[in-house]
Amino acid sequence: MDRPNRLARAMAELSRRRFSTLAAAALCGVNVPGAGVAFADAWPDRPVRLVVTFPPGGANDIIARLMCDELSRRLGQQFIVDNRVGGGGNIGAEAVARAAPDGYTLLQCSVSNATNASLYKDMTFNFEREMTAISGVYKVPLVIDVLPSFPAKDVTEFIAYAKANPGKISFASGGVGTMAHIAGELMKQMAGVDMVHVPYRGSPEELSDLIAGRIEVVFDPLPTSLDFIKDGRLRALAVTTAKRTESLPGTPTVGEFLPGYEASVWVGIAAPKATPAAILEKLNAEINAVLATPAFAAKLRALGAEVFPTPRAEFADFIAADTRKWAGVINAAGIKAQ
């Protein structure tokens, strides 16, 4: 009479052990048949935390919350934004790198993770070695702003003017080591011009001084400059991305005058290194599906951003190449985090 009960208990124990083996194997990266699939099928069964290294209320935070809302709807579990600000983004990034690689702690990574590798000499973790790329989400162009009265009308004339006035042009950015600063240094190096960098605490202050005529040129994220350009208070010489932006379709790229030049603010999502590949692939597919919806793309464009969907391997290669590229610029310019 007890034989069926013993058989049921034995089968239950076997299933429990099988699941424990699959779980341990997936976390350790061991290739056990079915391990990744089992994890991906069960994931997520509780809320997922997305660490954002920017403060609440800004464009990065807003887009992160929009993405979390969409992923929550698609995957049936809450995706929650956790703002971890400080250390140029390193505090939040390191917290995720040290988190359990189970798919429940993710990072909104950005170009700062690529540049910080060279800006900070005392980093206590290595982003490329300890994190794994999932997908790009969006890119934001920088724009080169001048007053309408500035004598140069395009990048070629601007370079000629800068060469004729070495050390006399002040270019502003939102701070030392920001992408705007590094983009200006890249232009200096590629064009062979001498400009003086003037760091500000953010876009409002630098744009105010540009409009007042206290500085000559600003490298600025497009969203904060766009209204000033549209109402004619500022003139956009060029955008820094490889392609023209839909927000300013008539504005050329720097690369049209200075071949090979490209600089952009990019944002994506990453996870701790040992996160099971099946979960990463599931996330990549869902993120890219969100980015493919016209409504979500329109929301990004309204914030001055453009979708940046990527396969996992392609995004990993992109981050590695960007890290090497900006290391060369940062080291040549002698930029150090402040």
Task: Please give the distance of CA 143 from its chain centroid, rounded to a whole number.
Answer: 17
Residue 2 lies in a domain: no
Which pLDDT band, with edges at 50, 70 and 90, does 1 fall under?
very low
Strand partners of residue 135: 269
220 and 300 in a single domain? The answer is no
CA distances from 251 to 154, 157, 243, 244, 246 (A): 10, 15, 10, 7, 10
For CA atoms 267, 273, 275, 277, the dihedral sign is positive
| Same domain (yes/no): 146, 242 | yes
pLDDT tens by residue, 166-203: 999 999 999 999 999 999 999 999 999 999 999 998 88
Higher pLDDT, 73 or 15: 73
- Determine the pLDDT at residue 283: 98
Question: What's the confidence (pLDDT) of residue 42?
Answer: 87
What is the tally of helices (H) and strands (E) in the chain? 13, 10
Give me the chain's average pLDDT, please. 90
Within a domain: 156: yes
pLDDT of residue 40: 65
- At 300 the pLDDT is 93
Go through 94-111 and write b for each residue having 16 or more CB atoms within 10 A of its CB, e for each that does not: bbbbebebbbbbbbbbbb
Amino acid 10: pLDDT: 42
Distance, in Å, from the CA atom of 307 to the CA atom of 225, rounded to the nearest integer, reads: 20
Given 256, 279, 313, which residue is the final one in a domain?
A: 256
**Which residue would you say has higher pLDDT here, 18 or 286?**
286
pLDDT in tens, 109-123: 999 999 999 999 888
Residues 157 and 126 in one domain: no
Could you give the CA distance from residue 330 to residue 338 in angstroms, rounded to a whole number? 14
146-176 tens-digit pLDDT: 999 999 999 999 999 999 999 999 999 999 9
- The reply to whether 123 falls in a domain is yes
- Mean pLDDT value of segment 8-27: 43
Same structural domain for residues 182 and 210? yes
Q: Is 116 inside a domain boundary?
A: yes
The per-residue pLDDT for 134 is: 98
Element (H, E) at 195: strand 195-199
What local confidence, expressed as pLDDT, does residue 182 receive? Answer: 98
Clarify whether residues 88 and 151 are in a common domain: no
Q: Say whether 336 sits in a helix, a strand or coil.
A: coil
Mean pLDDT, residues 246-250? 91
* Spatial distance between the Cα atoms of 44 and 77, rounded to a whole number of angstroms: 7
Instruction: Residue 229: give its domain's CATH number.
Output: 3.40.190.10
Q: How confident is the model at residue 72 (pLDDT cuts 50, 70, 90)?
A: very high
**Residue 50 · residue 108 · CB < 8 Å:** yes
Residue 25 forms part of a structural domain: no
How many domains is the chain partitioned into structurally?
2
Does residue 24 register a pLDDT over 50? Answer: no
Cα gap 337→99, rounded to integer Å:
26
Identify whether residues 203 and 270 lie together within a single domain.
no
251 and 321 inside one domain: no
Same domain membership, residue 230 and residue 85: no
The answer to whether residue 37 scores a pLDDT higher than 80 is: no
Last residue of a domain, one of 217, 234, 256: 256
**Domain C-terminal end among 205, 224, 256:** 256
Would 288 be classed as within a structural domain? yes
Asked if the model's pLDDT at residue 13 lies above 50, the reply is: no
- pLDDT score for 21: 43
Q: Are residues 171 and 306 in the same domain?
A: no
Rg of the chain over all Cα atoms, to the nearest angstrom: 24
In terms of phi and psi (left: phi > 0; alpha: psi -120 to 50; beta: otherwise), the region of 77 is beta
- In whole angstroms, give the CA distance from residue 175 to residue 337: 10
> Do residues 246 and 156 both lie within one domain?
yes
Q: Is residue 22 part of a domain?
A: no
Task: Check whether 82 has a pLDDT greater than 50.
Answer: yes
- Is 12 a domain residue? no
| Residues 48 and 130 occupy one common structural domain | yes
Q: Report in angstroms the alpha-carbon separations of 31 from 13, 22, 25, 35, 273.
A: 22, 9, 7, 7, 16
| Domain carrying residue 96 | 39-140+265-333
Asked if residue 124 has pLDDT above 60, the reply is yes
In the structure encoding, which two tokens stand for residue 7, read together?
Answer: 């058989």
Query: b vs e for 127-164, b when ≥16 Cβ sit within 10 Å of the residue's Cβ?
Result: beebbbbbbbbbbbbbbbbbeeebebeebeebbebbee
Phi-psi region of 6 (alpha: psi -120 to 50; beta: other; left: phi over 0): alpha
Q: Looking at residue 299, which CATH number applies to its domain?
A: 3.40.190.150
Q: How confident is the model at residue 253 (pLDDT cuts 50, 70, 90)?
A: very high
Looking at residue 26, its pLDDT comes to 45
Based on the domain organization, do 106 and 80 belong to the same domain? yes
